[in-house]
Amino acid sequence: MWKRNIAKLNQAMGFQRSSTNKQKLQPVISIIATKASSLSQPKDPNYNSWLVEHPCALDSFDQMMKAAKGKKIVVFLDYDGTLSPIVDNPDLAFMSDEMRAAVREVAKYFPTAIISGRSRDKVKEFVQLSNVYYAGSHGMDIMAPPRPVIKSCDGKYNTITLDKKRNEVLFQPAKEFLPAIQKILTTLKEKVMKIQGASVEDNKFCISVHFRQVGEEDCGILEEKVKSVLEHYPEFHFTWGKKVMEIRPSIEWDKGHAVEYFLDTLGLSNSNDVLPVYIGDDRTDEDAFMVIKRRGEGYPIIVSSSPKDTKASFSLHDPSEVLAFLLRLARWRKSSSSSRSFAQIWGVTD
């Protein structure tokens, strides 16, 4: 069983069957040791037919990279459910060291941004990498490369500031909503505290109300409470995520805009040789998938272990497949003709 899994994972990551190189096998062995890989589990028939429409990005890897030859790949990654598995306690959603190493490796060769619903500080604390860009609050809090481009949202939110020390720019299109967000947080915490298992997470420019650990009988009451608070704040709305209600200011800015913003600041928005790869698992990632689809070039990849309605073109079953994909992507780039890193090519420090 072990040997078969190793062979399967090696194949997924593009290693030769006959490879006995200990170093190459190491990450594979540790993946298997740390978590049960989806590759060892049979996939249900519905999933298999869904895969026809959304082929596995590992199986399609060679074909995808053939089309990517000569293009500038830019990598966008969601955090929860993509880089880290979904767990009951949001504070414990750590990513593995293997995943961190894979993201670090990818970011050596391609500009890489993490776009999360979490606060930017929180996701940075989880990821702990200095060679990636971060966007928190579903893209409403972006720390981007230092390009002098000002992107406006409805011509209203030109809030770029220069962080001289880090030499990066901060873009926060929902800054004016901060006082209201603080008020909503306080009220929600008071109300929600009474419901067992519910919790409120401060994501800076948005708020998450978690109900993963709330009994089914209390979920309706929780929803009513959240709605009753929002009645007093018409400039906010809520959306559903994975066992979470996400309260956000109603501005026209989402993960899709964040992708466009990063491409702009990287000076790539008008290039036709740019190929964004976006990997995400949740509804909010669909906005980014749509942007990539609209551009007509790039790979929107959904992480899902069950069939779901999505704008993504490719799929990965779970974070362990994300890990295999990232390792393979870095390995593909490393072995292609030029071994210059993204930092060398783009003139940035990694």
Ligand X SMILES: O=P(O)(O)OC[C@H]1O[C@H](O[C@H]2O[C@H](CO)[C@@H](O)[C@H](O)[C@H]2O)[C@H](O)[C@@H](O)[C@@H]1O
What does the binding site for ligand X look like in residue numbers (CB under 6 A)? 78-81, 86-88, 90, 93, 116-118, 201, 203, 208, 210, 212, 241-244, 246, 282, 284
Reading the block at residue 227, the tokens are: 């709605």
The distance of closest approach from Cβ of residue 118 to ligand X in the complex, given in angstroms and rounded to an integer, is 5
The distance of closest approach from Cβ of residue 132 to ligand X in the complex, given in angstroms and rounded to an integer, is 14
In the chain the first and final C-alpha atoms are separated, in Å, by 40
Q: What residue is closest to ligand X based on CB? A: 117
The distance of closest approach from Cβ of residue 80 to ligand X in the complex, given in angstroms and rounded to an integer, is 3
CA dihedral (327, 330, 332, 334) positive or negative:
negative
The distance of closest approach from Cβ of residue 149 to ligand X in the complex, given in angstroms and rounded to an integer, is 24
Q: Based on CB atoms, which residue is closest to ligand X, 13 or 277? A: 277
Q: Based on CB atoms, which residue is closest to ligand X, 242 or 340? A: 242
Residues 35, 236: Cα–Cα separation, whole Å: 39
SS3 state at 277: strand
The distance of closest approach from Cβ of residue 263 to ligand X in the complex, given in angstroms and rounded to an integer, is 19
Nearest-5° Cα angle at 234, 233 to 237: 90
The distance of closest approach from Cβ of residue 122 to ligand X in the complex, given in angstroms and rounded to an integer, is 8
Residues 100, 323: Cα–Cα separation, whole Å: 9
Contact predicate 210/196, CB 8 Å: no
Q: Based on CB atoms, which residue is closest to ligand X, 81 or 298? A: 81
Q: Based on CB atoms, which residue is closest to ligand X, 55 or 85? A: 85
Contact predicate 310/304, CB 8 Å: yes
Distance of CA 314 to the CA centre of its chain: 15
Residues 11, 312: Cα–Cα separation, whole Å: 24
